[in-house]
Amino acid sequence: MAIVANMQQCVFELTGVAKRYGSVEALKPLTARVAAGQTCAFIGPSGSGKSTLIKLLAGLIRPSAGRVLFHGEDVQGLDPVSYRRRIGYVIQDGGLFPHLTARANVTLVAREAGWSAEAMDARVAELADLVHLPLAALDRYPIALSGGQRQRVGIMRALMLDPEVLLFDEPFSALDPIIRHDLQQEVRDIMCGLHKSAVLITHDMDEARFLAHDLYLMRNGALIQHGRFEDLANTPADPFVTRFLAASRPMDAPSAEPAGAQVPPHAAPPGAEARP
């Protein structure tokens, strides 16, 4: 099967990328591509190297070998401040600063970039509507927000500067099933509506299948198999792929459609009924 990322413009391209911490090889040499306008998921158990990989994409750490390219340019040669403003980063539980209100968390980078108060207020109102967050919640501190509200604020912050790419580092893993279900559906709708490129890091194959078009399955710092879910299910590269898929919950949700495509009305996040 031809891989979509090979046929379209790539936002990210990793060529022989590896990462070592002393004698520990956290990420073995890996080559991967993220196609423009699509969501790519890196899936694997703990210790598979996926969190190291997303930190490399975010420019938070440097590779020990290989190159991380963003629109064909080596990330290490880009200005780190301007580069990170082109990347939205969503982490578990929102990653909010506890001493700032939700609004101040959302507008932090925009203030540093010199936005006017009027421009920030307009953008915050737009994003609050997008993620279904009541405006009153923006005046609270993170400790006074629910887990789902904190994650919505984190998504707003990531979208504040209208970045080209969103990076999701296991953003739903700390949420209860109902909130996780709602946010998975909302994020999928947002990504389809905004036509953003995205990278998702998760240990949940159901979640990856629901949100992403292109899957990379990892283990012990190495890439095991790349393709659509159907490729992994029908032609597993080795017994680990079969075991990993079998360990997932029943997968009754359809695979993600290309960005901008109409989502079937029966589509629902894994393990949940579609909302009426």
**Phi, psi (deg, nearest 5) at residue 49:** 100, 0
To 5 degrees, how large is the angle CA 272–CA 96–CA 46? 55
pLDDT tens-digit map of 196-251: 999 999 999 999 999 998 999 999 999 999 999 999 999 999 999 999 999 875 54
Distance from chain centroid for Cα 47: 18
**Is 91 a residue whose pLDDT tops 80?**
yes
Predicted local distance difference test score (pLDDT) of residue 265? 42
pLDDT tens-digit map of 152-180: 999 999 999 999 999 999 988 888 889 89
Q: How far apart, in whole angstroms, are the C-alpha atoms of residue 116 and residue 107?
A: 11
**Could you please report the per-residue DSSP string of 59-102?**
TSS--SEEEEEETTEEGGGS-HHHHHTTEEEEEGGGG--TTS-H
Predicted local distance difference test score (pLDDT) of residue 260? 46
**Quick one: which H or E segment has residue 252?**
none
pLDDT tens-digit map of 183-194: 999 999 998 889
The more confident residue out of 32 and 258 is 32
- For the chain, what percent of residues have pLDDT higher than 70? 87
One-letter amino acid identity for 87? I
Q: How many residues does the chain have?
A: 276
The more confident residue out of 257 and 239 is 239
The confidence band for 94, taking pLDDT boundaries of 50, 70 and 90, is confident
Predicted local distance difference test score (pLDDT) of residue 173? 86
Structure tokens at 135: 């405006």
The more confident residue out of 39 and 268 is 39
Q: Residue 192 CB: number of other CB atoms within 10 A? A: 18
Q: List all residues 6 or more positions away from 95 whose beta carbon is below 8 Å from its beta carbon.
A: 89, 154
Q: Which residues pair with 197 in a beta bridge?
A: 165
**Phi, psi (deg, nearest 5) at residue 68:** -105, 115
| pLDDT, average across residues 91-104 | 92
Q: How far apart, in whole angstroms, are the C-alpha atoms of residue 199 and residue 166?
A: 6
Q: Which residues pair with 18 in a beta bridge?
A: 65
Predicted local distance difference test score (pLDDT) of residue 255? 58
The confidence band for 254, taking pLDDT boundaries of 50, 70 and 90, is low
pLDDT tens-digit map of 19-46: 999 999 999 999 999 999 999 999 999 9
**Is 97 a residue whose pLDDT tops 90?**
yes
First to last CA, the chain: 36
Predicted local distance difference test score (pLDDT) of residue 192? 87
| Selection from 13, 40, 29 nearest residue 229 by Cα | 40
The domains found in the chain, sorted by start residue, are 4-86+164-246 (3.40.50.300)
